[in-house]
Amino acid sequence: MTPRPQPTLAYLRLLEGQISRFLNTLQERLNELETVQQELYDAQTYLLQESAPLEVLAQVREAVNYLSNQHWAILQLTCIASHLWAVIQALLHSTNETP
């Protein structure tokens, strides 16, 4: 059985930086999305109070559903990237302990 290649310390550090930046980007997008969602919910409430036409309410509801799906997807990406980051940090830590 051939030995598995070990990632180099430099490569792990590169990955750590890239994933860290990706997590920051995801968090920024999540914050922006949450702001837009709140504004859309406020608009939806206003339209309901003003008895807006059903077509308008249906389009707003479609936008709410779309943004909710995007929100869920970003949360899932954040979770996956966080786990990868933890694995890379563990590998870096174990590499630092190796003589």
Render pLDDT for 15-60 as a digit per residue (tens, 0 to 9). Answer: 999 999 999 999 999 999 999 999 999 999 999 999 999 999 999 9
- The domain locations on the chain are 30-93
* Predicted TM-score of the model (pTM): 0.79
Q: How many helices (H) and strands (E) does the chain have?
A: 2, 0
Give the integer Cα–Cα distance in Å for 30 and 73: 10
End-to-end CA distance of the chain: 24
Render pLDDT for 80-97 as a digit per residue (tens, 0 to 9). Answer: 999 999 999 999 888 766
Evaluate whether 23 touches 78 at the Cβ level (below 8 Å).
yes
Place of tokens 């310390």: 9
